[in-house]
Structure 1
C-alpha cells in the first residue's frame, strides 16, 4: 500500500483480487483498485467505512483533491473507499486496446457480461471483510452507483450499515424500452428549457446541424461529427450548469476564414472532449445492459424507441421550422461508427444487445422486507433517471426515505458541496 497526503486528508492506494465470475471463485481473477481517504487528523482512528460507487456504467471513481464536494462531509466520520468498479479506472480497465486480448467479439461480449451491478456488488462483498474485519459498511451510490446499491439491498443486505442513494433509484422490473420511452419526453423538456433560457441558441444549433449535414466533419482524433452526434451534446443538460456549458460551447462554433465560415478549432476540440467515449468506453458498450433482466434482449432500445419520437429527427427539424432537439443519455449503434474509441467494439456491443441470458438484478420481496436504513435524493425531472420510476422503487423498499428536490439536477451530490450528503445521512438516521 502507498499512502500520500493532500490538504486535510491522507490517501492510500488499495489493491484487491476478485474472481471474474463469482460463480467460479477458483477461476480467472481480476484486480480492483480503491483509493482510501481519511481526514488527516483522524488517520489513526478506528472509523466506520463508507464505499462510494460512481455513476456510469464505465466510470472510475471521481478523482477528488482535498475535501472537495461531498468528500469533506464524509471524512468527518468515515474512512472512505473510492472504488474503481471493475473495468474502470485502475481496476482491470476494459477498452479497445485491452479487450482484443480476450479474443474475438463473442469472447469479448461473454467477458463483458460479468461487468454489471451484480458482479460489482459481489466484488464489494469480497473486499469488505478485508477492510472492515467483517463489519457492515455504508454505501453511497451516485446514479448507476445507486442501481448497484439497490442490487446490494436485494442480495447482501447483511453487508450494509446504511445506504445513501443520489439520483439512482432504478425501475425494478422495467425493460430498457420503458426507460427510453420515459426518457425522450424528459430530454425534450430539457432542450426546450435550454432554448427558453438562451433563445439565440435555436438559430445557432440549427446552423451547426445544417453545416454538418452538408459537410463531413472529422474532429481531432478522428471522431466524425454528424448531426445526430451533435444532438447528443444534450447530455450536458442533465447537470446543474450543463445548459450554461452548452450555450458557451455553441456561441463559439464558427470562425470566418479565407474560404468562408468554418467550425472553429476551439469548438471542435470542446465537442470532441464532451462526446468521445475514449475515457469511458464501457458506458457505451454496457449502457443498455444495466437494465437487462431475463430473456428479453435490449436490442438497441434507445435507437428503436427514438423512432417513436419523430420530433428528434434532425433532418425533419432542418427541413421545417422547429428547433433542433438535443438528446441525452442514449447510446446508439451509430456511436460505434463515429467514435474511433468504440469502432473496434461494435460487434461485441451488438452481441450484448442481442443477449438473452441476463440474471435478475432486484428482489422485490427482499426489498419489501428491507431492514437497512436507506435514504435517497430524487431530483425532480432528473434527465438521466426517471422520477416516477424512482418513486415507484422508493415505495417498494421498506423504510426508504426520500428527499425530492428541484434545487439540484442529477449531479446534486457533487454540486451541493456537503449539503446533499448531510441531508441524506440525517434522513437515514431519523434525524430529519
Structure 2
C-alpha cells in the first residue's frame, strides 16, 4: 500500500514491502521493510531516475525530510529519491528489547539479529528495486557512512542493479580485521580529544572534576541507569561531527548545582548526558557495530569485543591513570563496550544475545574481492581526511583496489558533511559524475 502526502515542496509516498528474514529461505518467515519515496512537487509524473539512499549506522532509520532540506534538495533536482528504513529500523519491522523478547532465548535472539547486516540489507534493496522499478532496471545509490559499506556489499552481490554509486565517508576496508579497525581508531579519537581541549582548554579541569566525582559517587541518569566514568567517556562520539566539539563544550559548560548535600551534577547536565549515551533509539548499533566488520574469510575468531580487548594498548584512555597523573581525561569514540549492556536499560535485555554475536566466528563474507576487482559501476566517493569513524587509509586502499572508484579527499569537512554542508558535498560528487571536476 502507498499513501501520498504533500510536504511543503516535496511529495512523499510511503511503501511497505514484505521481505524474507533469511533471503536463502524466501518462503520462510517474512518481515516488513519501509521506504519513503520523495519527489519534488510538480515533478510527480516525470520520468526521473531513482536514487536509493542508504543511511549510516548500523541500526539507524532513514531521515524524515522536511521539505527539500540539506542534501535532499540537491538530489531532487536530478532524481526521485527512495529513503530506505533498513531492516529493524524506523517503520520497518523493529528489532529492539521489546520485540526481541518474543524471539525466545538469547541464542534465538542472536540468530535473528545475525540477519540484520549489510548482506541482508542489500538483498532487501534488490527486492524493492524489482518490485518498484521492475525487472531489468537500475538505480543510483547514495551511501552515507555505513551506507557506503552497504554499497560495496551491493557491488559484490548485485552490481547489475546499480547505474552509479555515490559514497560519503563510507568506503570500508575489504579485508580488514576488526582488531585493525580499533588500532587505527583509538589514535584518531585521541587526536580529536587533543583538538577539542586545544579549542576549549577550560574543559580539561571540568572533565577531570566530573570523572573524579563519578569515581567517588554513585550517580544515576534521569532514566535511573548508572553513570560511570567509562559511560561518561562515551560522549566522545560527538567529536567526529562538524559541530560536535561545540556541542560537547556547551554540555560541559554548567554541570554542577549546589544542593543541601553540597555540589552535585545537575539534572539538566545529566539529562544532556543521557540523551547522548543512551542507545534506546538505536540498540542495533550496539549489538551489530563490531559484527559489521566480521567476515569468516578474514577471521574465524569472532569479534570478541574488540574495542574492549584493544583498549589496553592505548593507556591514555584509562581515566583512573589520567586522574592520578593529572593528565586530561580522554573521551572514547565509536566503540561499543560490553559494560554498556550492563548499564543501558535499552541494552540490558540484549546482553546475552550480544555476547553470543561477539563470539560467533562463522560470519558470511560481506565483500567479494574477486568480483569487485572487475567492477564496472562508476563510484564517486568523498573521503574525509581525518574522519574519526572511518579510517582514511582503509578507504583509499579500497579505492585503489576496486576499479572505477573516484575519490575526493577533503579536509574541509567531518564525517557528517553530507548532512551539514548545505548540499555542497553532494553537489561536488554530482559534478564528478558529470566530468566537471
Name the TM tier (shorter chain): over 0.9
Distance between the aligned counterparts of 2:145 and 2:355, measured in 1?
Answer: 25
Q: Distance in 1 between matches of 2:344 and 2:65?
A: 28
CA distance in 2, matches of 1:223, 1:378: 37
- Is residue 2:395 matched to residue 1:390? yes
Q: Residue 198 of structure 1 aligns with which residue?
A: 200
SS of residue matched to 2:5: strand
Out of 343, 346, 349, the residue aligned to residue 354 of structure 2 is 349
Which of 118, 140, 143 is the aligned partner of 1:141? 143
**1:312-367 deviations in whole A, cap 9, x for unaligned?**
01111111111001111000000111100000000000000000111111112221
SS in 2 for 1:98: helix
Structure 1: 5+ residue stretches without partners: none
Residue aligning to 2:97: 96
| Runs of 4+ that moved beyond 6 A | none
Q: Residue in 2 aligned with 1:115?
A: 116
- Aligned twin of 2:265: 263
State the alpha-carbon separation in 2 of the partners of residues 93 and 114 from structure 1. 13
CA deviations 1:118-163 (Å, max 9, x no partner) are 0000000011012222311011000000000011111111000110
In structure 1, which of residues 326, 340, 359 is the aligned counterpart of residue 364 of structure 2?
359
Give per-residue Cα distances to partners, 1:208-252, cap 9 Å, x unaligned.
111111111110112211001111100000000000000000012
Shift of 1:259: 2.0
1:144-183 matches, cutoff 5 A: 144-183=146-185
SS in 2 for 1:60: coil
Q: How does 1:20-419 map to 2 (within 5 A)?
A: 20-134=21-135, 135-294=137-296, 295-419=300-424
Q: Is the 8 A contact 1:227 1:314 kept in 2?
A: yes
Deviation at 1:47, TM superposition (A): 1.1
Instruction: Determine the C-alpha separation between the residues in 1 that align with 2:250 and 2:233.
Output: 16
C-alpha displacement of 1:77: 1.4
TM, length-normalised to structure 2: 0.98
Alpha-carbon distance in 1 for matches of 2:132, 2:39: 14
CA distance in 2, matches of 1:297, 1:223: 29
Q: Distance in 1 between the 2:226 and 2:432 partners?
A: 47
1:26 Cα offset (Å): 0.7
Provide the aligned length of Structure 1 versus Structure 2. 432
CA distance in 1, matches of 2:265, 2:182: 32
Q: Deviations over 1:141-190 (max 9, x none)?
A: 00000000011111111000110000001110111111000000000000
Maintained 8 Å contact 1:52/1:139: yes
For residues 38 and 222 of structure 1, the distance between their equivalents in structure 2, rounded to whole angstroms, comes to: 43
